[in-house]
Amino acid sequence: MSTPSRTFESTDWPAVSLVMPVLNEETYLRAAVDAILAQDYPGQTEVVLALGPSRDATDRVAEQLAAEHPQVRLVHNPGVDIPKGMNLCIKATRYPIVARVDAHSELPPDYLRIAVRTLHETGAANVGGLMVAKGRTRFQRAVARAYNSKYGLGGSAYHSGATPGPCESAYLGVFRRDVLAEVGGYDESIRRGEDWELNLRIRKAGHMIWFTPELQTVYWPRESVQKLARQFWSTGVWRGALTRSMLRQTPTRFFVPGALVAALLLSALVGVSDTVGRLRGPAVLLRGAYLGPITYGGLLAGLAARSPGSLLDRVCYVLAILTMHLSWGTGWWVGMLRGGGDTVDTSRAG
């Protein structure tokens, strides 16, 4: 690994460009930008929004924000892909630090100050922190609880990590611009999982990704079962496509949802066979496939029992986890078998 370079002195707060691809975010955009503008950061900042072809009033909200705040600028992203929007934003920026922001996220006032200080102290190329999911409706709160649980999205540091240090990827990310230029920015052929793939290239180039739990960002997840399923389906497809092309670099946890779906399907096939013609002889051993759904059902029951709230709250929590796991796992198999193709995240389509 190369020796980390210092791009600024601790007493000289570098200017920061905050970039955000936007599509159908009428409900969340203003709050996200207001949180950016409320930063207590001592240096200069600018905000660049890449506007996709939204069907709601997102463009009108963005134009109002640009008219009200001179540091907010707009670029147009004729497609819906986040990597393309990110690259368009980065191309339009002027400053040496680039911070990715999501319209479904709200930054705390000290976000940039902590991130830039951490960049300087660690020499990292990218710094990220915790995604703290929250919800307004009953189901969105259940989804948020699943996001914040290791049983919902696995063991990534940015979901439940407590110890600062080097990591494989980062939520959102505050980057040194020169490193983004060095690795070529976001890969526009990847429509989901683009952060993980970009951070992999950054690490391969000899730089470090750093996680700090001191950096916490509120994230508002999808509000309905349908949107959550569409989001996790597309994420699973592209994770499967990335696994297919980078098998050796893929962490073990990314195989788990696919293995779950395979186990459930196998148990269903054995169940049909056992019903149509009673299994006999050595074929009886196939009934071991029933352990998959039994074990998974026990896990869900245990999570529901330990979950706070009313019975309906617990049902929503289990439904959220089921939706995330099965949508992701099914999509993963599609991506593994045929690649990402033209799969897009339609959960932002309104």
pLDDT for 237-257, tens place per residue?
999 999 998 988 888 888 999
Same domain, yes or no: 98 and 172 = yes
> Do 39 and 93 lie in a common domain?
yes
Do 149 and 256 share a structural domain? no
254 and 217 within one domain: no
pLDDT value of position 335: 95
Domain that holds residue 202: 16-221
Mark whether 25 and 99 lie in a shared domain.
yes
Question: What is the block-wise mean pLDDT of the chain (350 residues), using blocks of 10 residues?
Answer: 45 91 92 94 96 93 96 91 93 96 92 96 95 93 91 68 86 95 94 92 96 91 94 94 89 91 95 87 89 95 93 96 96 95 78
In terms of domains, do 206 and 320 share one? no
Query: Residue 88 falls within a domain, yes or no?
Result: yes
pTM for the predicted model, two decimal places: 0.86
Position 254 in a domain: yes
Query: What is d(CA 88, CA 97) in angstroms, rounded to the nearest whole number?
Result: 16
Is residue 230 a part of any domain in this protein?
A: no
Main-chain dihedrals φ then ψ at residue 325, nearest 5 degrees: -65, -50
Q: Are residues 192 and 70 in the same domain?
A: yes
Same domain, 341 and 203: no
8 domain-assigned: no
- Asked if residue 132 belongs to a domain, the reply is yes
* Domain closes at, from 221, 255, 272: 221
Q: Are strands 171-176 and 126-133 parallel, antiparallel or unpaired?
A: antiparallel
Which of these three, 186, 221, 256, is where a domain ends?
221
**Given this model, what pLDDT does residue 252 score?**
87
Number of domains in the chain: 2
| Cβ neighbours of residue 139 closer than 8 Å, sequence gap 6 or more | 223, 224, 225, 316, 319, 320
pLDDT for the residue numbered 349: 64
Look at residues 157, 187, 221 and tell me which one is the last residue of a structural domain. 221
